[in-house]
Amino acid sequence: MSDAAQDDRAFKARTRAMWATGDFPRVARETIKDVGPTLVAAAGVRAGQRVLDVAAGSGATSIPAALAGADVVASDLTPELLEAGEEAARDAGVELEWVEADAEDLPFSDASFDIVLSSFGAMFAPRHLIVADELLRVVRPGGTIAMANWTPEGWVGQFFLTMLPFMPPPPPGALPPPAWGVEDHVRSLFGEGVSELTFTRQIQAVDHFATPEALIDYYRENFGPTIMAYKSLAGDPEQTAALDAALMDFAVRMNLAGPGEPARYEFEYMIVVARRAA
């Protein structure tokens, strides 16, 4: 195995471990609960359609698609998230197919889905062009690709930028995930593979944290990337203190609430809807 292949395998293993750490299903339920139904509506999911959710996590988009009557396959690199999704689907009274899969190497036949969805998932794979090619490959000609992607300037994009200096470096050639929230970048990725491409900015309001301190405590305890950032600094109290300070400064700066009010944040994301060229 080449050094590059070994590096890629190690990165994917770290990625799986990162998203399995903490309680991402809880974070999704409590901070981005409206995004899945919004994306399903934007994609025009209807009963009887065959739908793939790429990097589906615990089913925040897959389950609303199934509730709309679609035949849904939910795929993700992290099996622990799929297990949580299966439980949530049972609670919702719907059946889906759950498949462990890499967004850069989807184990599905060409043109096998009417709609391909991804909410805050495929954007985290390091090689964006490979991901775009895979999304185009598995959707039928004339079919729809719909994604919800964090923007670089939005809350989550800035949150990851704040943590970036304290996290292990990405593999060579990796592109930043929030680039999927930049129109020109997405146009360059899909290129002539699509006949239509639209972009709509959306806001998910998050207002159930009493204070900025409560928000940062929540992410330290539940959000895999934040947990792994702190783990990578274990034994380095100076850097740990620097991360504490950076996150607190961020949480205070981004708080939209007035004095004495509960903290309030707006998470901006981009809905991308593409039609595969015939």
Q: Is the pLDDT of residue 2 over 80?
A: no
- How would you classify residue 149: left for phi > 0, otherwise alpha for psi between -120 and 50, otherwise beta? beta
The pLDDT score that the predictor gives to residue 1 is 62
Is 101:68 a contact under the CB 8 Å cutoff?
A: no
In this prediction, residue 3 carries a pLDDT of: 66
Predicted local confidence at residue 4, as pLDDT? 67
Asked, for residue 30, whether it belongs to a domain, the answer is: yes
**110-120 tens-digit pLDDT:** 999 999 999 99
pLDDT at 145 > cutoff 80? yes
In a domain, 231, yes or no: no
At 54 the pLDDT is 98
Q: Find out whether 136 and 276 touch, Cβ atoms under 8 Å.
A: yes
The answer to whether residue 243 is domain-embedded is no
Query: What residues make up the domain containing 143?
Result: 3-205+268-276
pLDDT in tens, 147-162: 999 999 999 999 999 9
Mean pLDDT for the stretch of residues 247-252 = 98
Mean pLDDT estimate for the chain: 96
Q: Is residue 246 part of a domain?
A: no
> Measured between alpha carbons, how far is 176 from 131 in angstroms, rounded to an integer?
13
pTM of the shown model: 0.95
Question: What CATH number corresponds to the domain at position 120?
Answer: 3.40.50.150
Q: What is the pLDDT of residues 88-140, one digit of tens each?
A: 999 999 999 999 999 999 999 999 999 999 999 999 999 999 999 999 999 99
Q: What is the DSSP letter of 264?
A: -
In a domain, 222, yes or no: no
Within a domain: residue 240?
no
Q: How many domains does the chain have?
A: 1
Residue 170 binned pLDDT confidence (cut-offs 50, 70, 90): confident
pLDDT digits (tens, 9 = 90+) for 59-75: 999 999 999 999 999 99
pLDDT at residue 262 above 70? yes
Question: Is pLDDT of 40 > 90?
Answer: yes
Q: Identify whether 122 is part of a domain.
A: yes
Give me the pLDDT at residue 8, please.
80
The rounded percent of the chain whose pLDDT value lies above 70 is: 99
Contacts of 204 (CB under 8 A, 6+ apart): 31, 32, 34, 35, 266, 267, 269
Residue ranges of the alpha helices (H) in 44-124?
Answer: 62-67, 79-92
Q: Taking Cα atoms as reference points, which of 234, 246, 251, 230 lies closest to residue 18? A: 230
- 184-214 confidence digits (pLDDT tens): 999 999 999 999 999 999 999 999 999 999 9
The answer to whether position 17 is within a domain reads yes
Judge whether residue 230 has pLDDT over 90: yes
Q: How confident is the model at residue 5 (pLDDT cuts 50, 70, 90)?
A: confident
Segment 260-271 shows an average pLDDT of 97
Q: Give yes or no for residue 34 having a pLDDT over 70.
A: yes
